[in-house]
Amino acid sequence: MPELPLEPEENVDPRSDCPVCKKAVRADSPTYPFCCARCRTIDLGRWLDEDYVISRPIEQSDLDEE
Ligand SMILES: [Zn+2]
C-alpha cells in the first residue's frame, strides 16, 4: 500500500478541528470553524484578551502592584 503524502490541513477534507476544544467540525456547520457557539465565544474572548495584552506593554509598576 503506497504512502499518501501529507496534504496541507486546509485541503484534507471539508472538516476542521475546533480551535478551542479540537473536536472535528463540519464545514457546513453554522458555527464553523467552531463546533458550537460556546467555543466561538471562548475564542473571541481569547482574541480580546490577547489584543489587550499586546496593546499594553508590561511596565515595572505592574510588577510592583501585587
Ligand atoms: Zn469546540
Separation of 58 CA from ligand 1 center, angstroms? 31
Q: Model pTM greater than 0.85?
A: no
The Cα–Cα gap between 12 and 20 comes to 20
Residues in the chain: 66
Domain-by-domain residue ranges, the chain?
Answer: 14-57
User: With b meaning 16 or more CB within 10 Å and e meaning fewer, what string describes 29-62?
Assistant: eeeebbbbeebbeeeeeeeeeeeeeeeeeeeeee
Annotated binding-site residues for Zn(2+) read 18, 21, 35, 39
Q: What is the pLDDT at residue 38?
A: 96
Whether the CB-CB separation of 15 and 24 falls below 8 Å is answered with: yes
pLDDT digit string (tens) for 18-48? 999 999 999 899 999 999 999 999 998 988 8
Separation of 7 CA from ligand 1 center, angstroms? 23
Separation of 50 CA from ligand 1 center, angstroms? 19
Separation of 57 CA from ligand 1 center, angstroms? 31
What's the CATH code, domain 14-57?
3.30.50.10
